[in-house]
Every structure is written in structure tokens, then in C-alpha cells.
Structure 1
Amino acid sequence: MELRLREFRPRIGPHEHRVVQPGRPLRHTSLRDPSALAPYGMLVGDHDGLSRLAGLFSFAAFSRHTIVHVPLRDCVPSVEGCGELVDLVLAHPEVGLRPSKWPELRRALRRDTPLTARTDETRTERHARAWLERPYDRRLLRHTAHARTYFLIGGRDAFASAATSFAYAADQGPRQKGVLKGRLMYMDSVGGEPAPHGDGSHDPEVLICFKEYPTDAHLKRPGH
């Protein structure tokens, strides 16, 4: 997949960071932050949004020193779900990104440079399979929310696995019964590292849901 991105090189103190964003907004994709009572986020998107997220997760998998920032707060939200609308950030531990420092870094995203990147779906699927084949020796993504942003921190194979989940949702979502009537379809999820209490009842998770956006929903009838 060819990705059109915006690249930023903000400097905070002595450190320069590389941050990329989608070249254009994921207009009909939204993410709601988990709450204490329902510790899972709900990500709802159409075919375009979910397929581009698959590409962004694949890009993040093999970009160990890059922060991928996906602005979603100002997109058209789905009426389903509850919780605050948040942005999404993907990063490897090597970046050393602390969520508490993200607002300062986000404010420094001023000058950008156009960037085109191409993802390798075959390579992504290979690493995703390798991750799934070692259920007792794999690291999940760490989920953290701060400053109206949802952070997923982890390694190459975990991001590759998530990329295939988004690709599946984008491909199979439009085939589900009832989507043309505006129904929301749960397709997959991105799980996270177990919570500190260890009982497994509140482990973080992001639900991946498909919802077709009506092509004429932004139009007004005559006289309105």
C-alpha cells in the first residue's frame, strides 16, 4: 500500500523526534477512549479509514524510531459507543515516548514535509503469523490514555498483527449483512498487556468495528 504522509521533525530540548501523520484526515473514523466501567475502546471506521489504518500500523511495525500520530478527534464520529473521542499514537519503546510529554511534543508539530511510503503486506502478514504462533512468548501492545490521546506502545510483530486485523476489517466489513442499512459490525480487536491487578477482567482492548458511511449523508435536502 502506498501511504501519503506528513513528516514532522520537532525538537524538544536536545532531542529531535520524527512524527508522521496521515496526509489527509481519516474523515469517517473515530476512536472512543475506554472508561473504568468498560475498559475497551471502540474504533469505528469505513473501508477507507480501516484500510489506511492497516497501512499505518504496518508502517509503524517497521519504523522503530518514528511516532505515528493519527488525529481522530475532529473526524465525523459514530453515534455508537460512549467515552471521549481521542487521537491515536503508535510507537515502539525505543522512541522513549512518555505520554505525559506528548502535549508538549504535539504543540511542536508545526512545519511538515510531504512523505510517501510503501508498505509490504506480505512481510507484515509473515510477522503477524510468527507472532500468533508463539502464544506463550509474545509481547502485547501496551495501552495508555492521556491528554485526549490513546497510545499503543509495542514491538514490530504486535503492530504487524494489529495491521492484519484492520486489513481484515476493511476487506470483510463491506461484505457483512446489514451494513448498507447503516448497521455497526464488530470485526476484530487489538488486545493489550494485562492490567496490573492480574485478574484479567479489565485487560485493555480496542474493538475494531466497521460502519459504512452514507455517501450522501453530508448533503442537505432542498429547503433545509
Structure 2
Amino acid sequence: MRLNLTEFRPRTGPREHRVVQPRHTLRHTSLTAPEPIGLLLGDHDGLNRLAGLFSFAAYSRHTVVHVPLRDGIPPDEGWGERVDLVLAHHSYGLRPSKWPELRRALKAGAPVTVRTDEARTQRDANALLRRRTRADHRDELRHATHARTFFLFGSRDTFAETAVGFAYAAGWGPRQKRVAEGHSALMTGIWLKDGLGGGHPYEVLVSFKPCPPYAHFKRPGD
């Protein structure tokens, strides 16, 4: 997949960062943080581009991916306050409390175009699924919410697995029943490391929802 991004090189103290954003807003995609369950609603374009962004994040250990989802059109269903999305590798060391300072420094970005390798992404996602059967498996997405932003911290394989889930939702979401009437269809979920105290596992539900006007949306094959 080809992704059109804007690249920023801000500095905080002595450190230079690399932050990228989608060049164009994901207009019909929204996200609410898990409290304890979050919801991501997206049309085909939004879910497909998120698949590409997660794939790019998987192989960009020294880059922060910022998706400003609050800039899109508010959805007509769901719950909770909308938040932006940030993806970063565990090893990057990004602290959510420092994000507002870094976000304010995102000025004078430059356009860049990158390509993702779907076959490689699928192989790494499959490798993670095989490792999950082992008792010593610890490779999981971690999360935090701060300053109206939902942070996901992961590894190459956890981001790759999530990318595959978004690609599935983008491809098969339009085929679900009643989506042509404007209804959303639950397609997958982002499983997260449990919060302290037990209870329901933290999770983000991922649903396909066509963009209005729904009279113009036709399921494939109709």
C-alpha cells in the first residue's frame, strides 16, 4: 500500500523526533478510548488506511505515528469522548505526559510517501499467533490515555497483527448485512494488556460503518 504522510522533525530538549501523520484526514473514522471498552468506527477508506499505518508503524521503530482522529466527522453512534491515536514502539520510550509538548512542536511538516509490504505484515502477524500458544508469551500491546489521545505501545509483530485485523475489517466490512442501511458491523477488536485490578480486559472494538449518504452505498455484489 502507498501511504501519503506528513513528516515532522521536532526537538524536545536535546532529542530530535520523527513524527508522521496521514496527509489527509480520515474523515469518517472515529475512536473512543477503552473505559473499559473503546470503539473505533471507520468506513472502507479509514480502516484501510489504518491497516497501512499500523503496518508502517510495525517496521518504523524510531518513528511516532500520530493519527488525529478528532478532526473527522463526529459519528452518529457510539459512546465516550473521541480521542486521537498515537502508535510507538515500546523501545521508543515515549511518555504520554510529554506528548502535548511534542504535539505543539509539530510545525512545518514535509510531505513523504511510503509503501508497506502486506505479505511481510501477514507473515509477522502469523508468527505472533503461533507464539501466543506458549506459556511464556508476553508480547502484547500496552496502552494509555492522556490529553485526549489514546496511545498504543507495541512491537513489530503486535502492530503487524493489528494491521491485518484492520485490513480484514476494511475488506469484509462492506459485505456485512444491513451496512447499506447505515448500520455498523463489528469486525474485529484490539486486545490490550489488562489494566490493574482485574475485571473486564481492556479492548477496542473495531466496526465497519459506511459513510453517509447511505443511499449511495452498495454492498459488493448488489
TM-score tier (shorter): over 0.9
1:134 aligns with 2:124: no
Q: For residue 102 of structure 1, what is the aligned residue in structure 2?
A: 99
Tell me the secondary structure at the aligned position of residue 63 of structure 1: coil
Q: For residue 213 of structure 1, what is the aligned residue in structure 2?
A: 211
> Contact between 2:181 and 2:214, CA under 8 Å: does it hold in 1?
no
1:87 aligns with 2:84: yes
Q: For residue 218 of structure 2, what is the aligned residue in structure 1?
A: none
Taking the aligned partners of 2:192 and 2:208, their CA distance within structure 1 comes to 21
Q: For residue 196 of structure 1, what is the aligned residue in structure 2?
A: 196
> Contact between 1:60 and 1:91, CA under 8 Å: does it hold in 2?
yes
Cα deviations by residue, 1:15-42 (Å, 9 ceiling, x for unpaired) = 000000001000100001222xxx0110
TM-score (norm 1): 0.92
What is the Cα deviation at residue 202 of structure 1? Answer: 2.8
Taking the aligned partners of 1:216 and 1:191, their CA distance within structure 2 comes to 30
Tell me the secondary structure at the aligned position of residue 123 of structure 1: helix
Taking the aligned partners of 2:80 and 2:183, their CA distance within structure 1 comes to 20
Taking the aligned partners of 1:138 and 1:57, their CA distance within structure 2 comes to 20
Provide the aligned C-alpha RMSD in A: 1.2
Of the three residues 111, 115, 134, the one matched with 2:112 is 115
Q: For residue 174 of structure 1, what is the aligned residue in structure 2?
A: 174
**Alignment length, in residue pairs?**
212
Taking the aligned partners of 1:81 and 1:162, their CA distance within structure 2 comes to 21
Q: For residue 71 of structure 1, what is the aligned residue in structure 2?
A: 68
Taking the aligned partners of 1:65 and 1:171, their CA distance within structure 2 comes to 30
Taking the aligned partners of 2:27 and 2:37, their CA distance within structure 1 comes to 22
1:145 aligns with 2:142: no
What is the Cα deviation at residue 88 of structure 1? Answer: 0.2
Comparing 70-79 and 47-56, the one that deviates more:
70-79
What is the Cα deviation at residue 216 of structure 1? Answer: 7.5
Taking the aligned partners of 1:67 and 1:117, their CA distance within structure 2 comes to 14
- Structure 2: runs of 5 or more not aligned: 216-222
Taking the aligned partners of 1:105 and 1:53, their CA distance within structure 2 comes to 22
TM-score (norm 2): 0.93
Taking the aligned partners of 1:159 and 1:216, their CA distance within structure 2 comes to 32
> Contact between 1:143 and 1:204, CA under 8 Å: does it hold in 2?
no
Q: For residues 216 and 205 of structure 1, do their structure 2 counterparts lie closer, same or farther at Cα, with a shift above 3 Å needed?
A: closer
What is the Cα deviation at residue 195 of structure 1? Answer: 1.6
Q: For residues 17 and 68 of structure 1, do their structure 2 counterparts lie closer, same or farther at Cα, with a shift above 3 Å needed?
A: same
What is the Cα deviation at residue 80 of structure 1? Answer: 1.6
Q: For residue 220 of structure 1, what is the aligned residue in structure 2?
A: none
Overall identity of the aligned pairs, in %: 61
> Contact between 2:182 and 2:214, CA under 8 Å: does it hold in 1?
no
Taking the aligned partners of 1:212 and 1:60, their CA distance within structure 2 comes to 26
- Structure 1: runs of 5 or more not aligned: 218-224
